């Protein structure tokens, strides 16, 4: 599933995503344009002929992240919720295409643009979320090494200070959303951000590296209202090798 990030696969990803209507994607959901550097069309299940996304299987078994994330939560989260975003983005693209061909209601363009932004956010966020985790027993958690480790120290003071800010931001998201570690390419620094829903409050131009889903569907079966406990436990299953790979791709 992790296709080597070659220039060719990146070109295909950009070509695939531009089929969405480059203007709308770039304008309304800055996060997505930049994930082209991180995800390929293959990672997102994009089919150039049907111009539709598909839900790909998880990169591990449903119970692989036990006990941090339980099997039932993973099944429902991936098979139902993530699948809903895939269906939603496909439908929004179809509706916008119909409006372009004067077969849809132009009064609904704002509605379908919003749907496109929300569901594409959901598809990209979840794709990055699944591949950003691995079982504790296989080396998940701990701390990053190399360049990413040094830049975290430079920008946050220490790994501990980063972890404190990341978990606090994620825990304090108002309603449904995400906590993200992002790379801001203009100031060339790492930042922590909160995202509401799937896309709101993303920092313009920033590249998402590490995200924790704090929608209730991500943790409620096991943790109920204890979101802080879930976010704390999430730190034990981060795949820092994968996050480092994204960091190197983002700052190239």
Burial label for 99, CB within 10 Å (0-12, 13-18, 19+), is middle
Binding mask of the shown chain, residues 174 to 193, with x at each position contacting Mn ion by CB under 5 A: --------------------
Residue closer to Mn ion, measured from CB, 130 or 162: 130
Provide the minimum distance between the beta carbon of 2 and Mn ion in the complex, in angstroms, as a whole number.
Answer: 20
234 contributes a contact to Mn ion by CB under 5 A: no
The minimum distance between CB 185 and Mn ion, in angstroms, equals 26
Is residue 239 within the footprint of Mn ion (CB under 5 A)?
no
Binders of Mn ion among residues 197 to 226 (CB under 5 A) are 213, 215
Per DSSP, helices labelled H in 108-239 are 109-131, 146-156, 159-171, 220-223, 227-234
In terms of CB distance, is 36 or 125 closer to Mn ion? 125
Cα→Cα distances 203→47, 108, 181, Å: 29, 27, 11
Instruction: Count CA atoms within 13 Å of residue 244 on its CB side.
Output: 13
Supply the minimum distance, in Å, between the C-beta of residue 77 and Mn ion: 6
Residue 65 found at the interface with Mn ion (CB under 5 A): no
Q: What phi and psi, each to the nearest 5 degrees, are found at residue 192?
A: -105, 135
Which residue's CB is nearer to Mn ion, number 162 or number 215?
A: 215
The nearest distance, CB 217 to Mn ion, in angstroms, is 6
> DSSP letters of 39-90?
--TTTTTEETTTTEE-PPPPSS-TTTTTTTS-HHHHHHIIIIIIHHHHHHHH
**Is residue 43 part of the contact set for Mn ion (CB under 5 A)?**
no
Answer yes or no whether residue 230 interacts with Mn ion by CB under 5 A.
no
- 79 vs 97 by CB, closer to Mn ion: 79
User: Which residues contact Mn ion (rule: CB under 5 A)?
Assistant: 213, 215
């Amino acid at each position: 599933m992790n296709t080597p990030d070659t220039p060719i696969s990146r070109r295909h990803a950009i070509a695939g995503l531009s089929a969405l209507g480059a203007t709308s994607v770039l304008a309304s959901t800055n996060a997505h344009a930049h994930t082209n550097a991180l995800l390929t069309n293959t990672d997102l299940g994009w089919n150039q002929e049907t111009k539709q996304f598909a839900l790909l299987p998880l990169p591990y078994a449903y119970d692989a992240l036990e006990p941090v994330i339980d099997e039932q939560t993973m099944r429902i989260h991936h098979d139902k919720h993530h699948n809903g975003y895939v269906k939603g983005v496909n439908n929004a693209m179809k509706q916008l295409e119909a409006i372009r061909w004067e077969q849809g209601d132009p009064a609904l363009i704002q509605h379908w643009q919003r749907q496109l932004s929300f569901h594409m956010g959901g598809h990209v966020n979840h794709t990055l979320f699944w591949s950003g985790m691995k079982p504790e027993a296989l080396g998940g958690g701990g701390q990053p090494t190399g360049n990413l480790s040094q830049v975290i120290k430079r920008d946050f003071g220490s790994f501990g200070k980063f972890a404190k800010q990341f978990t606090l931001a994620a825990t304090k998201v108002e309603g449904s959303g995400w906590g993200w570690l992002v790379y801001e390419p203009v100031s060339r620094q790492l930042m922590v951000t909160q995202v509401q829903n799937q896309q709101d409050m993303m920092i313009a131009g920033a590249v998402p590296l590490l995200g924790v889903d704090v929608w209730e569907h991500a943790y409620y079966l096991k943790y109920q209202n204890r979101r802080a406990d879930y976010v704390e436990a999430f730190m034990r299953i981060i795949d820092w090798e994968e996050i480092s790979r994204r960091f190197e791709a983002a700052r190239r």
